[in-house]
A and B are shown apart, each in its own frame.
Chain A
C-alpha cells in the first residue's frame, strides 16, 4: 500500500489551499467564540474571524507561545467542554506547570489518520507487526504510534520503553516488521543486538520510524546498518498532537506535513516576519482541524525550512527539512525535553549552591549523558567529604525529580565557571549527532 488516504494525500495544491482557508476560518471562529484567551488577544490586536479572507491574512493573527500554554494550564485553552475531551497528554520534562493538550475523539482520530498515512508511506499495512517502543503514558510517542497502527489494522506490540533484553526477545518472537522509538534507543537496540550476536539480516524487520529527538544522517546510516532496515524521521509535539504532524516518505528527503490538518509558516525568530519557502527559520504551526485545543500560530522554537518542490513520492503535501536546531536553549536528552531553567530551579531548591552552573551533554555509545557542573558557595563548610558527597546526591536527586533523567553532578570551585556578559551560555552540547 502506497497511500493510506490517496484522495487527501495527493490532493492538488490549489484544492489543499481552498480546504485550508475553509478550515482556518472555522478554527479562528471556534477559538474566538470558545477561548477567552484568544478572544482577548484578538480584540487587543483588532482582529477577529472576519479578518481572515485569505490564507495570507493569518499573518494578522497573534502568535501563541509556549508560555501561553503554561499560563493557561491545564484547561485554559480548551475550546470544548471537558465532557468532550477524551484524553490529555503532558509534555516531557517540564517543571511546575507543564505543557499539556486535551484531545477530543475527533482529534484522536485525526492524529491516528496522520500516523496511519505516515506508516502506509513507509510500507506498513495490515500485515505489519509494529513494535512500539516509544514510552506509553503522558508522553505522546507510545500512544500516538499505537493509534495510527491500530487505525491501519496492523498488529501492535505495545512494548513501551526500557527493558532492552525483553525488547530484543519479543521483537524476534513476534517477528516485528516495523520498529518505532527514539533514534538513540534504536541505535542502542541495534548495538546490543550486534554485541549479542543477533543476526539482524535474518529478522523480518524492514523499517523504523524514529523521532522525539534530533538525529543526523550519520546516525540514520548507522541505525540502518545495525538493524538492516530503512529508518524514517517523524515529527510532532504534544501541543499539536504527538508524532505524525510530519513524517518522511520513502524518498527520505524531508518530512511531509499534512496540510489539510496543519498550516505551517517559517518565520524570522527575531522579527516574527514570515519567510519565503526554502529559507530557514522558526516553524510556526496553526492547527486546522483540532477541536480540543486548537492552536493559532504556535511558535515551536524548532528551526527548519519548507521544501516547496513536489516530492517524487507523489504526495502533494509540502515538506519540511529535518530539524536544524532550536531558537531557545531547550535540549533533548534521551528523548526528554530539558530546559536549563529547570535545572537552575532544581539547584536553587537544594539551597546550598550558587545558581552558577554549566550543563555538558555527551553521548557515550548511544546513551546521552548529562553532566552538571555546579559552583560551590564560598562559605560551604569544607570540613567533611561526606557533606560534599551528600550535597552532590541531593542535587542529583532534585534534578532527577524535576527533569526525570539521571545526571552526574560535579562540584567546582566558586567563580571557576565562565561568566557571561550577555545571555549566559550554560549548555555545552558535545554530542556528535
Chain B
C-alpha cells in the first residue's frame, strides 16, 4: 500500500513552512507534494520516504496529519502514458478522486500517484496487475524509484 500523508493547514502565514521545517528536522525526505486549496484552509498531500517517522514528527509538533491509501502506477514517459492509466480504471467505472506525479530519481518512466475511492481500491489493484501497459508499484518499489 502506498501511504500518503495528508496535512490540514489553516490559511495562515507560516503554516506550510512549519510543516516542511518539521519534516526537515526529522530528516524525513519528501518524495512528492501537492496542495489542495479551499477558501480558508488547505490540504497538503505528501509521499514521504519514511511515513511513520514523518507522521510521528508532525503529530509531535501539534500538526494535524493522517494517512490515506493510494496507488502508484508506473508508465513509460511518453504520449499516451497517462491515458493508459485512465483507461484501465475507466473500463471498470472506477473514478479517480485525484492524482499527481511522483518524482523518480532512478528511472526515466513516469510515476503517477492515484486516489480511487476506498471501495474500489482492491479492484483497481487487480485491474492494474492484469494490465501490460502499466506497472503497479508496491511501496518499497516506489521509494527506490
Contact = CB atoms under 8 A, between A and B. Distances in A.
Interface of A: 376, 378-385, 388-389, 410-416
B10 A413 contact: yes
B10 A383 contact: no
A389 B115 CA distance: 19
A-B pairs, 8 with minimum CB distance:
A382-B6, A383-B68, A413-B64, A385-B36, A385-B38, A382-B8, A382-B66, A414-B64
A412 to B, nearest CB: 6
A382 B8 CA distance: 7
Contact of B64 (A382, A383, A384, A385): A382
B66 A381 contact: yes
B142 interface: no
Contacts of A385: 36-38, 43
10 contacts: A381-B66, A382-B6, A383-B68, A383-B97, A385-B43, A388-B38, A388-B41, A411-B41, A412-B10, A414-B64
A380 B10 CA distance: 15
B41 A382 contact: no
Nearest to A373: B10
**Interface size of B as a range:** 10 to 19
B115 A383 contact: yes
Nearest to B62: A415
Nearest to A381: B66
B94 interface: no
A378 B64 CA distance: 6
Contacts of A381: 66, 68
A410 B6 CA distance: 19
Contacts of A412: 10
Interface string B1-25: 0000011101000000000000000
Given A414-B64, A416-B10, A416-B62, 16 more contacts: A379-B66, A380-B64, A380-B66, A381-B66, A382-B6, A382-B8, A382-B64, A382-B66, A383-B97, A384-B97, A385-B37, A388-B38, A410-B40, A411-B40, A412-B10, A413-B63
B65 interface: yes
